Structure 1
Amino acid sequence: MAALAFKVKSKNGQQVLKDLTSESTVGELKLFLASISDVSVERVCVLCGYPPKPIDVSDDYKTLTQIGLKSGETLIVEEKAGPSPGEGSKAETSVPMIKGPSRPVENGTSHETIGRPGILMKKVVPSDNSCLFTSIVHSLMRQIIAMEVGNDLDTYTEAFLGRPNAEYCAWIMQPSSWGGAIELAHEAKSSRQFTDLNKFTLKCQVCDTLLTGQAEAQRHAKETSHTSFGEV
């Protein structure tokens, strides 16, 4: 039974939900989301994925695993529209409102574009030891870093971390711990958003000479007066 953590977006802002497991039910999820978003349980609508799409939360007895939810996902909570007072059964026979421009009829079937309101939220990031994590993805960032560091004992040694690997993993999960170079190194490496100044390959745009590292490039520039380089 694995613990699950979700980032929840609603009209009340963003929160992290960490009180559920893979065996928790849809009903339990809806209760938590209702309390976070101030939306009544029967009107909770949950969107997930990119672009966000509604997920089926009609069966309160299904587990979160059965509906395909995974730890780390972002859940957007919206409120289902309910019938206006006095409409009753008339609402079923009345012509529905078109919320967007209609498309031309294709193959005898008309298509309507229904606009779904988005959520724009602004969150003030405090200037404390957790600003890196708060800015990126709240406390989920700490869990990701601890998992990656704990799974790579060859790279993240005691000499590298300044403390035993297991001790570091426990330390980085604390809200008061300062994240920095080690944490960003993993994220940069996974997305290839980094440059090793000693080993990267450069090409002189003037004479097409291939150079390795910043030192070779500086030496080449000094010897040839060529100053235009590009990374290969």
Structure 2
Amino acid sequence: MPALTLRCQWKGGSHVLTTAEATTTLTELRGLLVSLCSIHPDNQKILSGYPPKELVDPSGGGASTLAELGIKSGETLRIEPSNAAPASASQPQPTPQQNAKTGQALSGLSGLPGSSAKAGLEAQSRARKLVRRVVPADNSCLFNSIWYAMIDRQLQPVQGANELRQAVAEAVRADPITFDEATLGMARDKYIAWILDREHWGGGIEISILCKHFATEMDVVDTQTLRIDRFGEADGYSNRIFLIFDGIHYDILAEPCGPSESPDRDITVFPVSDQGAEQRALAVAKEANQKRQFTNLAGFTIRCLACQTPLVGQREAQAHAMSTGHTNFGEV
């Protein structure tokens, strides 16, 4: 039975769990999680899906398997302490739906006057907009963005970018048929050394590899053309992330959660079936487009800062980098 890839997140940390299987029971999962988040199994509140909802075992005994609970490889699990006090006899137990994040948010609107309730609902709607989480422009913005979405909310994950570069290199090394010289645009050994160098950018090849690595569709929203390029769409993944691209820089799109909208509570993985998430991603791109927040790669003029050669467009810059090894460019 192949292992599942589950992204586990809790306050103060995250981890990609690869030791669970479809036949793992909920009780066994809780045992695996306690070693990660130090939350006692009896006090774990596990949220999954979108919007996040508490994982509830219909058998009541924790014997249901992850497959029976609908958990698939590539999903994100959020673990919180339940801190649940026993309900009194006069108070009915809340249902799982009431305990879900959306139910908790809306319950805070009860008892408000009509106009205030409407304003509260509008605030909830605004909170569901996606935001652009800007990652460092350090030539690893693609890897930083994917690391942010899939692993860790740290905005300067140097080690994470290096790990993802290594994963790409290993995939190319292991599959000489798919990743031949014609596909890579250079000899395989040269490409492997090239992508491991933090001075070099990532792009389509790297995204296609990493979407398989994480078993997650990766959609790139272009702020100039408003086009969405879907990597891994044909592989049938159940979840996806949204990268936003302005021609030279990648960032990640996220849905902030909680009153503080702290990045460590961001939702960055969305079901492929959630068309609303796609529309919200396009809304961010449209706003950036209206503000002219993109670079026209076909016509922009730059200069190589190593040898001062003037260049026009992405093709000239790439050709110059390949022939000289120079990768430091500046706009004219």
* TM-score, with structure 1 as normaliser: 0.51
What is the percent sequence identity of the aligned residues? 28
Indicate yes or no: 2:148 matched with 1:135. yes
- Whether the aligned pair in 2 keeps the contact of 1:10 and 1:37 (CA below 8 Å) is yes
Q: What is aligned with 2:230?
A: 190
Q: 2:69 aligns with which of 67, 70, 73?
A: 67
Q: How does 1:147-226 map to 2 (within 5 A)?
A: 156-161=179-184, 162-163=187-188, 180-181=202-203, 182-184=205-207, 187=218, 188=220, 189-190=229-230
What amino acid sits opposite 1:12 in the alignment?
Answer: G
- Describe the shift of the 1:156–1:51 C-alpha distance in structure 2 as closer, same or farther (beyond 3 A): same
CA shift, 1:37, in A, is: 2.0
Per the alignment, residue 6 of structure 2 pairs with: 6
The answer on whether the counterparts of 2:7 and 2:76 sit within 8 Å (CA) in structure 1 is yes
Deviations 1:11-43 (A, max 9, x none): 232211111111222111111222222221112
Mapping of residues 71-82 of structure 1, within 5 Å? 71-82=73-84
Q: What residue number does 1:210 align with? A: none
Shift of 1:64: 1.0
Counterpart of 1:93 in structure 2 is 90
Q: Specify the alignment match of 2:28 in structure 1.
A: 28
CA distance in 2, matches of 1:19, 1:49: 20
Q: 2: CA distance between counterparts of 1:96 and 1:65?
A: 27
The question of whether the paired residues in 2 share the 8 Å contact of 1:132 and 1:180 is answered with: no
Q: 1:153: how far off?
A: 8.6
Distance 1:195 1:128, change over 3 A: closer
- C-alpha contact (below 8 Å) 1:31/1:41 kept by paired residues: yes
Whether the 8 Å CA contact 1:8–1:77 is kept in 2: the answer is: yes
Q: Residues of 1 paired with 2:168 and 2:66: CA distance?
A: 24
Task: Name whichever structure is richer in helix by fraction.
Answer: 2
Unaligned runs of 5+ residues in structure 2 are 95-103, 113-120, 122-132, 152-159, 210-217, 221-228, 232-242, 248-297, 300-332
Q: 1:5 to 1:93 in 2, by over 3 A?
A: same
SS at match of 1:20: coil
Contact 1:12 / 1:36 at 8 angstroms: preserved in 2? no
Distance (whole Å) between structure 1 residues aligned to residue 92 and residue 69 of structure 2: 33
Q: Aligned pair count? A: 168
How has the CA–CA distance of structure 1 residues 103 and 63 changed in structure 2, closer, same or farther, with 3 Å as cutoff?
Answer: same
Range with bigger deviation, 178-187 or 59-68:
178-187
**Structure 1 gap segments, 5+ residues each:** 105-112, 114-121, 197-213, 216-232
Tell me the secondary structure at the aligned position of residue 9 of structure 1.
strand
Aligned partners of 2:38, 2:64: CA distance in 1, in Å? 23
Question: Larger C-alpha radius of gyration, 1 or 2?
Answer: 1
Change in CA separation of 1:47 and 1:96 when aligned onto 2, cut-off 3 Å: closer
Equivalent residue letter for 1:16: V
- CA distance in 2: counterparts of 1:65 and 1:95, whole angstroms: 30
Code of the aligned partner of 1:19:
T
Structure 1 residues 51 and 141: alpha-carbon distance in aligned structure 2, compared to 1, 3 A threshold: farther
